[in-house]
Amino acid sequence: MAKRSAVKQRTTDGINPRQPCPCGSGKRYKACHGSSGGPVELPVARPLAGLAGECELVALREFVPSATVPLTLAKPAEREVTLATVLSMASAALVRADGTALIGLQVQTRSSDVSRDMARALRWVLEAEDGAALPVVGPETDESPDRERFQDMVDVEQVLEPTVHTDFSWWMPEGEEPTGEVALSLERANAAIMPTERIGPAAYWVDAGDRCHLRWVRPESEEQLMLALARLSARGVLDLGEGSRYAGSFRAHGLLVPVWDLDSEKHAREWTEPAEQLGERLTTALASLENEPLTSEERRARDGLIGRQITIR
């Protein structure tokens, strides 16, 4: 009896379930975005590309606990809009009674494109009544066929300089005291906050309790950035001086976020100048890659750095 030939499985969208998922998570497709129910819409790998504030937005969405930043729209609107890390009751967006409009970034997304969900929330706050709140944002929020993205609605050249807050008291309008569920939500949020300071563009010092970190969202491609980091590592200058060490990196929305462990005895501002100097070394290393391939020692350093990467989104 002839042996049955093996048939390679493929999903209806033409992707082999055993191959790496196109989203870049490192998992097999069948264990990530593959679906037995049929083809699925893969997440946009770098949803905020094209925005001057891309790195800041990734930081605000992923790890900065409490911060706000005014938003410049592409077209004039009756309302001014503020982006925020987290809103009261974990709302996706809200309009206060005085007409102040806020959009929350740290929310669960129900679509494959974070940028499109942000655009939906922005469209909602521009049209909502005073005092309204949007609990969740997703495809059902705005069924318009235009499929606007955040980049279509804002000034893409705006350089974001967020204000980092020590608590969430900004949730409440000036002179108003929280009550009921809002008061409870505020109390819990303040109790969970980790002290955070912005010490440079998209570079944030974070006190995690037992240790402090520098988390720095970088705009370069992952491949080029890893090569530059490897070059600095091989030369022994991939740190911020005494009391610091490179800890690893994580991926978020298509960007790489290197992380350093820092001496918790030092104040955040004491790391500002060392971070600037590290940034200069990194810029020099990036520029050298065009004419200077990695040495064998640098390639070994790169392999070690790659082993310390994780993906969170």
pLDDT tens, residue by residue, 287-307: 999 999 999 999 999 999 998
Name the residue with higher pLDDT: 184 or 55.
Answer: 55
Helix count and strand count (H, E) for the chain? 7, 12
Ordered alpha helix ranges (H), 177-243: 180-192, 222-234
What percentage of the chain carries pLDDT values higher than 70? Answer: 87
59-86 pLDDT, tens digit each: 999 999 999 999 999 999 999 999 999 9
CA 13 to chain centre: 28
Secondary structure of residue 256 in the 3-state scheme: strand
Token representation of residue 259:
């992380």
Q: Tell me, what's the pLDDT at 5?
A: 46
48, 154 Cβ separation under 8 angstroms: no
247, 255 Cβ separation under 8 angstroms: no
Q: Tell me, what's the pLDDT at 312?
A: 66
Determine whether domain 200-311 maps to CATH 3.30.530. Answer: no
Q: Provide mean pLDDT across the span 172-187.
A: 89
Q: Provide mean pLDDT across the span 41-57.
A: 94
Burial of 267 (0-12, 13-18, 19+ CB in 10 A): exposed
**Residue 310: pLDDT over 80:** no
Q: Average pLDDT, whole number, for the chain?
A: 90
How many alpha carbons fall within 13 Å on the CB side of residue 162?
Answer: 30
Name the residue with higher pLDDT: 177 or 1.
Answer: 177
What percentage of the chain carries pLDDT values higher than 90? Answer: 73
Specify the DSSP element, H or E, that contains 297.
helix 296-306
Q: Provide mean pLDDT across the span 40-63.
A: 93
DSSP 170: G
Neighbouring CB atoms inside 10 A of 219's CB total 14
Q: Provide mean pLDDT across the span 34-42.
A: 60
Name the residue with higher pLDDT: 312 or 252.
Answer: 252
- All structural domains of the chain with their residue ranges: 12-42, 54-192, 200-311
Q: Tell me, what's the pLDDT at 74?
A: 97
**Residue 260: pLDDT over 70:** yes
**277 contacts: CB under 8 Å, gap ≥ 6:** 240
**Residue 9: pLDDT over 60:** no
266-275 pLDDT, tens digit each: 999 999 999 9
**Residue 41: pLDDT over 90:** no
CA distances from 75 to 51, 120, 129, 175 (A): 16, 16, 20, 32
**Residue 204: pLDDT over 50:** yes
**Residue 13: pLDDT over 60:** no
Q: Tell me, what's the pLDDT at 6?
A: 45
- Read off the pTM: 0.85
Which single residue is written with the structure tokens 């494109």?
113
